[in-house]
Amino acid sequence: MNYKIVFSDIDGTLLNHDRVLSPATISTIKELKDRLPFVLISARMPAAMRHLQADLAIENQPIICYNGGLILIDGLAVSSTEIPLNTIESLCDFNKSMNCHLSLYHSDEWYVPQHDQWAAREENNTKVKPELRSNREVVSEWKQENKGAHKIMAMGDEAHIDAIKDYLVQEFPNQLHLYRSKPTYLEIANKEISKLTAIKFLLKNHFKITTEETIAFGDNYNDVEMIKGVGMGVAVGNARKEVLEVANIVTQSGKEDGVANSLKELFKI
């Protein structure tokens, strides 16, 4: 197969043990980028992806943010799918007794209810600084602006995360994607979208390339559908079992430059 485009997840896939792009990854993608598009696809917000685009010299390419909830081309939103405000309000009410950390995201806006260990960890990982504002205040403002959340990140004790997940499954059974990236993290997005739906949107409306001509790299639960649905789904060695099971091939781990190594082999770089 003559593959014509590459999509890659970021955290756990493209970054090394220091959570940055390695020199080998940068040089490999820079060598490849003039032959075919290399597109970043992540649960991250746009501001947490642009510096990586710049490092790879692929600022001219689209980016897929929030697991497909927001697609940007030349900085402009061409697709935006949000979590409705009534769902956010309901979750905030349920969370009052637990006071679990709920980060609210919309495009390049990131609001945290307090600067705690959870906010500090995410800030360190993504190189983006959040704005301090209560969940209630954000919801009130978004009501006036007719906006929802591209992503909600619940972070806290495992028991609290269990309770939030159970509540959302019961109250909004067909509305939300719930990604449990680790016991203390729950990423919440609109169920209408996924990384694969975003890829298909870009392939059809922007690149005019088929899914069979597409390569994708990933490692986590939110990558399963993407890895299974493209022409060549590649799991890094540290990927979840569910990703490894549906991948066409498995490369080295993200910490061992698995993406770069696989690209060198596939494209004879």
DSSP assignment of 195-226: HHHHHHHHIIIII---GGGEEEEE-SGGGHHH
The pLDDT of residue 46 = 97
Query: Given this model, what pLDDT does residue 70 score?
Result: 98
Which residue pairs, CB below 8 angstroms and at least 24 apart, start in 107-110?
A: 107/45, 107/46, 107/70, 107/77, 107/80, 107/150, 108/45, 108/46, 108/47, 110/45, 110/47
Sheet holding 131-132, edge to edge: 131-132, 109-112, 101-106, 151-155, 185-190, 176-182
Helix, strand, or coil here: 63? strand
pLDDT tier at 125 (50, 70, 90 boundaries)?
Answer: confident
What is the rounded CA–CA span in Å between residue 220 and residue 236?
Answer: 10
The answer for residues whose C-beta is within 8 angstroms of residue 70's C-beta and 6 or more apart is 46, 64, 77, 79, 80, 81, 107, 150
Per residue in 168-197, pLDDT tens? 999 999 999 999 888 999 999 999 999 999
For residue 99, the model assigns a pLDDT of 85
In the chain, pLDDT over 70 holds for what percent of residues? 100
Average pLDDT, the chain: 96
Q: Which residues are catalytic, by number?
A: 9
pLDDT at 151 over 90: yes
Sign of the Cα torsion 34, 39, 45, 49 reads negative
pLDDT tens-digit profile of 22-40? 999 999 999 999 999 999 9
SS3 at position 227: helix
Q: Write the Ramachandran bin of 167: left for phi over 0, alpha for psi from -120 to 50, otherwise beta.
A: alpha
pLDDT value of position 128: 93
49-94: pLDDT as tens digits: 999 999 999 999 999 999 999 999 999 999 999 999 999 999 999 9
Pairing of strands 232-235, 214-218: parallel
Instruction: Give all strands (DSSP E) within 222-269, no chain letters.
Output: 232-235, 249-250
Which tokens hold the place of 191?
């169920």
> What are the structural domains, with CATH classification, of the chain?
5-80+193-267 (3.40.50.1000), 85-190 (3.30.1240.10)
- The band of 1, judged by pLDDT with boundaries at 50, 70 and 90, is confident
Query: Nearest to residue 133, comparing CAs of 119, 154, 150, 147?
Result: 119
Cα separation, 133 vs 105, in Å, equals 12
Enter the pTM of the model: 0.94
